[in-house]
Amino acid sequence: MCGIVGAVGARNIVPVLIEGLSRLEYRGYDSAGIAVLAGNSIERVRAVGRVAEMQTRAQAQQLTGEVGIGHTRWATHGGVTESNAHPHISRGEIAVVHNGIIENHDQQRQHLQSLGYVFESQTDTEVIAHLIHHHQSQGKSLLEAVQGAVTELTGAFAISVVSIHYPGQMICARQGCPLLIGLGEGENFIASDVSAVLSVTRNVIYLEDGDVADISQSQVVIMDATGAVVERTVHRSDLSLASLELGPYAHFMQKEIYEQPKALTDTLEAIIDDNAFSPALFGREAEEVFAQVDSVLILAAGTSYYAGLTAKYWLESIAQLPTSVEIASEYRYRKSVPNPKQLIVTISQSGETLDTMEALKHAKSLGQNLTLAICNVQESAIPRASKLVLYTRAGAEIGVASTKAFTTQLVALFTLAATLAKQHGRLSTEEEQQYIDGLRHLPGSVQFALNLEPQIREWAKAFSNKFHALFLGRGMHYPIALEGALKLKEISYIHAEAYPAGELKHGPLALVDRNMPVVVIAPNDALLEKVKSNMQEVSARGGELFVFADADSHFTESEHVHVIRTPRHVGVLSPILHTIPVQLLAYHAALLKGTDVDKPRNLAKSVTVE
């Protein structure tokens, strides 16, 4: 959340900042701004709304500069106003952009006010600007001032700072929020993620927590939390610019839904090529780690949490390992009973989700060191802090509502269950082959499910004029019902809840009437007859049912019972296949409602605040 970009060059870097911000816009889109050094002053442009609005102002103002910083905001402290938009400036000398939350901002504000600093915004960020100014006014260099200020800040942050007294310099610091340096030819950049600098460089250094970097046109010097100069690896990004473009699609969400067959194929490549589930997929130490494991604890947030809930069914039924799944932000603050033999699995698309990262740190502090990360972004913080990693290969996911990241997480988690089962002697050769064949055919079946779009588009009409919807599923399809409800509420703002179908009669049935469409995920599995009974309960109360069944479920359609059939598949992978129609339903309901599908109100991607 919040996107930061910065540049130090020998040319006008304003277009680079603006392009970088439009790439980062998915991280926050309530306001945007840039500031450049212009001789003895700082010139700043800010605007509420999208980057395009700010760009128009920057052009009208003919803003130019060789050193500058930019920001696209997802407000945490202070409303969505121009005065709260970043960059924040202290006494006309220092400009700061910030991603994160400064937890001791109240104390710092009082302290700085007592020193005569006047605040122009309600943000926590403004204290950073004044604090750095205060340090600098005591005779410190810009670098020393930033190093001094960050030791007085608590919370999570990534910042970038420029000062009129240091015209060729930009200082940045990372503590808990992502930040990277892009190395150019005679110019250097910083950004929250690599997409923002791809048009100028592919060579990037990922900062680590505690790092402070001193960046000029010709040099990058990185210091760790102790102030010692450190070498950090230079990575070459292979992310394609095309993957960040919409192409023929209307929205990134639509593009990403349609990319799922390829994303699944890419994620499964190694398994399919080896024709085996091998611990090596998870890292060199995986065989030794998996041998010790007696249970699994999955920590995640949002859609990733629902991937974890699905995995529980696989891990317990296939690998026979007791599995718990916890919301990361709950786990980290409660007293739990540590088990050093438990495999801690964290799931995060960005690999930077703050709640999940902190939950991982908490688990490690309890002596739980058998850690595995399932992430989509290479070199992100969570995999770097984990012993083992399995990267999903979904490619860049820009739409705020996660789609291809979720289905690739599911295949990664299924692979984990099968691999643990095999290593613990609980998977026969026939079962292994059957699962691999199922995975091999999965991208094709997903393609087939995508072909259901015209029917689902029709169904969406019955949702777009409603205020509420109910999603039902049983067993491993219950988490898919949860994901369907989450997708619908995220992007169409229709209030949607999901229940295990058996729970209906324990309360939510009271809500059912003509105005409450009920979506049921009802493939032909051992629970189908039970689900059918629950559907009868809905019909008997005049409810309208929308059923995602499969070829063998044998439903009779009627005026108030609508059925769409998904393709045949290996049963245990059915949750993955049933995700596609619920994604499409949410997408089309949102289109009909006219909401901003890729940038839903109040949300943003890559959740780097608590």
Interaction pattern, residues 101-130, with ligand HGA; x per rule: CB under 6 A: x---------------------xxx-----
Q: Can residue 72 be called a binding residue for ligand HGA (CB under 6 A)?
A: no
- Output the smallest distance, CB 467 to ligand HGA, in A: 29
Q: Is 75 in the site for ligand HGA (CB under 6 A)?
A: yes
Q: Does 161 bind ligand HGA (CB under 6 A)?
A: no
Q: In whole angstroms, give the CA distance from residue 179 to residue 172.
A: 9
Q: Which of 1, 204, 452, 494 binds ligand HGA (CB under 6 A)?
A: 1
Beta strands 518-522 and 468-473: pairing type?
parallel
Q: Which of 64, 76, 141, 243 binds ligand HGA (CB under 6 A)?
A: 76
Helix, strand, coil content of the chain in percent (nearest 5): 40, 25, 35
Binding segment toward ligand HGA, per CB under 6 A, in 71-79, 106-114, 162-170, 313-321: 71-79
Q: For the residues of 427-442, what is the DSSP string, one character each?
A: --HHHHHHHHHHHHHH
Q: Where do we find the tokens 């094709």?
A: 444
What residues between 475 and 494 interact with ligand HGA by CB under 6 A? none
Residues 389, 372 contacting (CB under 8 angstroms): yes
508 preceded by a cis bond (ω within 30 of 0): no
Please report whether residue 99 would count as binding ligand HGA according to CB under 6 A. Answer: yes
Per-residue x/- track, 321-350, ligand HGA (CB under 6 A): ------------------------------
Under the binding rule (CB under 6 A), the answer on residue 100 touching ligand HGA is yes
Asked whether the beta carbons of 186 and 9 are under 8 A apart, the reply is yes
- CB contact at 8 A, 521 and 579: no
C-alpha to C-alpha distance for 608 and 380, rounded to whole angstroms: 12
> Which is nearer to ligand HGA, 73 or 487 (by Cβ)?
73
Asked if 74 is part of the footprint of ligand HGA (rule: CB under 6 A), the reply reads: yes
| Binding region for ligand HGA (CB under 6 A) out of 68-76, 165-173, 197-205, 423-431 | 68-76
Q: Strands across the sheet with 495-500, in order?
A: 495-500, 468-473, 518-522, 545-550, 561-566
Stretch that binds ligand HGA, among 73-81, 323-331, 355-363, 448-456 (CB under 6 A): 73-81
| Category of 366 on φ-ψ map: left (φ > 0), alpha (ψ -120 to 50) or beta | alpha
Query: Is residue 172 flagged as an active site residue?
Result: no
Q: Which amino acid is at 308?
A: G
Of 177 and 315, CB closest to ligand HGA: 177
The residue among 414, 358, 402 whose CA lies nearest residue 376 is 402
Please enumerate in sequence order all residues whose Cβ is within 8 A of that of 207, keeping only pairs 6 or more positions apart, or say none.
158, 172, 174, 179, 180, 181, 213, 222, 232
* Closer of 26 and 499 to ligand HGA (Cβ): 26
User: In the annotation, is 599 catalytic?
Assistant: no
Q: Which two tokens stand for residue 325?
A: 């799944």
> What is the rounded CA–CA span in Å between residue 408 and residue 437?
17
Could you say whether residue 174 binds ligand HGA (CB under 6 A)?
A: no
- Closest contact distance (angstroms) between CB of 32 and ligand HGA is 12
In angstroms, the CA 127 to CA 153 distance is 9
From the candidates 387, 404, 487, 605, give the one annotated as an active-site residue: 605
Choice between 159 and 271, CB closer to ligand HGA: 159
| Strand partners for 72 | 3, 32
| Candidate segments 96-104, 203-211, 474-482, 503-511, binder of ligand HGA by CB under 6 A | 96-104
Binding segment toward ligand HGA, per CB under 6 A, in 99-107, 140-148, 398-406, 454-462? 99-107
Which 9-38 positions form the footprint of ligand HGA (CB under 6 A)? 28
Which of 2, 172, 177, 375 does the annotation list as catalytic?
2
CB 292 within 8 A of CB 265: no
Q: Annotated catalytic sites, by residue?
A: 2, 605
Interface ranges with ligand HGA (CB under 6 A) = 1-2, 28, 73-78, 98-101, 123-125, 608-609
